[in-house]
Amino acid sequence: MPFINPEKIQSVLEQPAPEPTQVRDILSRAAELQGLTPEQVALLTRVTDPNLLEELFNAARKVKETIYGRRLVLFAPIYISNRCQNECLYCGFRRGNNSMQRMGLSQEQIADEVGCLTASGHKRLLLVAGEQEDKNSLHNVLDSIETIYACREDGREIRRVNVNIAPLETDGFRLLAESRIGTYQLFQETYHLETYTRMHPAGPKADYKRRLMTMHRAMQAGINDIGIGVLFGLYDWRFELLALLQHACELETAFGAGPHTISVPRLEPASGSALATKPPAGVNDKDFSKLIAILRLAIPYTGIILSTRETPDVRRAAFALGVSQISAGSRTTPGGYGHKDAENSGQFCLGDHRSLDEVIRDIAQMDYIPSFCTACYRLGRTGSDFMDLARPGAIKAHCDPNAIATFQEYLDRFASEETRQIGLKCIEDRMQALSPPVRTIAQGLLDRMAAGEKDIYC
């Protein structure tokens, strides 16, 4: 492998279990927001003592709030096709799943889906599609992005489209970069070569190295923000975590900016996949919480994404440990927002079936600000420019006011009355918790909104 070093990973995983003093020394270093070495990460994966685990979780909470404050960015996926030529054994979209109803949305149908999402208040979407043999599939994606951005009615609009599609060559990524996407997202699924080969027996995705080098091609083509991830449950989560960090380090070294986001999906049941029902290396809830906390300490400035694969209880616990972005009100079926009867065509089973309004109400009751902010992407604060602001903590002066402003916009236009009242109290409480300079900026945005301005940010 070009930069994934399984021998080194295995050697650090074989270290003796750490003494409590070692763990506390590592947590003290993590508090300095400088990240962790592979050896330190490996030692933290060995922590099992309940008291030390709680210290680990507390350290992650402090780092999360220092960098991200009490805000959570929300988005929804929009699946435009479930047609796929790959044979991923864990996926409902796999080519050999004959029980799957195959479909690809027309541009008119995509516009209908976007209308459903914007009517609920969404501002960010993640476009998802299976990998097709059709040479025009990239042009269909580009047309779909244009359609999504063009859907505007009564001030309802999508302000940022992220993309999760199959690997492209550099020329294809240049076209994608020109289409005003936010983040390009792709998961290696598993970094363990033998497991990867077994899980992907056929299709273009069977090429491990090509997939591994995808982010290099994307960044060389001008895409500043990329998102990587692992499908936890295919192989030992400790190995995957360390390999994920090797990948992030490689991108940081090669391009001056590592991944903007890291996703942590766990393998969930999928129609037509016996393997997905019984994960070969399942991750229990305690270890899942631990890996999120370790990831937050290891790469403090990278966003961590948690999807609706997880149940509401698991999601609530993960917010404090490091998660900064979540999907809400999701469907994994093409056409699933407008046609709920198409659920048998979904990629995997959901754990959180609540509506966007219900999720937002729950978040606000936990004293988090739900954020629909897209300012950084619209102002060019991406890639290394974003990290230059994030590392010294300066980005919070933008993120906190923008989060509050977008939440106020949601409450004014889309929230149920119960959610509105809870949300207004949450904004009031969070405003008081801001530093005076940041509170002044946030109040200025709220005053402009009260005077009739829309879509404002700093």
Q: Give the mean pLDDT per block of 10 residues along the chain (458 residues).
A: 90 94 97 95 96 97 92 97 95 91 94 97 97 85 98 93 97 96 97 98 97 98 96 98 97 94 94 90 97 97 95 96 96 87 70 96 97 85 72 76 96 97 97 94 95 89
Note down the domain range covering 283: 70-371
Longest pairwise C-alpha distance within the chain: 62
- Both 260 and 353 in one domain: the answer is yes
User: Tokens standing for 27?
Assistant: 């947590």
- Both 141 and 58 in one domain: the answer is no
- Both 291 and 360 in one domain: the answer is yes
What's the pLDDT score for residue 271? 85
- Both 32 and 86 in one domain: the answer is no
- Both 134 and 101 in one domain: the answer is yes
Query: CA 231 to CA 188: how far, in whole Å?
Result: 8
Query: CA 66 to CA 189: how far, in whole Å?
Result: 30
- Both 267 and 396 in one domain: the answer is no
Query: CA 199 to CA 383: how far, in whole Å?
Result: 32
What's the pLDDT score for residue 135? 67
| Domain assignment of residue 381, yes or no | no
Nearest of 362, 385, 239, 247 to residue 308 by alpha carbon = 362
What's the pLDDT score for residue 204? 96
Domain boundary among 65, 84, 100: 65
| Domain assignment of residue 377, yes or no | no
| Domain assignment of residue 104, yes or no | yes
| Domain assignment of residue 376, yes or no | no
| Domain assignment of residue 1, yes or no | no
One-letter amino acid at 399 equals C
Give how far the C-alpha of residue 285 lies from the chain's centroid of Cα atoms, to the nearest Å. 19
Domain boundary among 29, 49, 65: 65
- Both 237 and 335 in one domain: the answer is yes
- Both 227 and 327 in one domain: the answer is yes
Query: CA 457 to CA 441: how far, in whole Å?
Result: 10
| Domain assignment of residue 299, yes or no | yes
**Residues forming beta bridges with residue 147, ordered by sequence position:** none
Gyration radius of the chain's alpha carbons: 21
- Both 87 and 167 in one domain: the answer is yes
| Domain assignment of residue 11, yes or no | yes
Query: CA 249 to CA 231: how far, in whole Å?
Result: 19
| Domain assignment of residue 115, yes or no | yes
- Both 303 and 401 in one domain: the answer is no
pTM score, whole prediction: 0.95
One-letter amino acid at 148 equals I
What's the pLDDT score for residue 155? 82
- Both 323 and 341 in one domain: the answer is yes
Query: CA 94 to CA 103: how far, in whole Å?
Result: 13
Nearest of 10, 51, 9 to residue 27 by alpha carbon = 51
Q: What is the CATH number of the domain that holds 178?
A: 3.20.20.70
* Residue 452: C-alpha distances to residues 11, 409, 448, 449 (Å): 60, 11, 7, 5
- Both 197 and 339 in one domain: the answer is yes
Total domains in the chain come to: 3
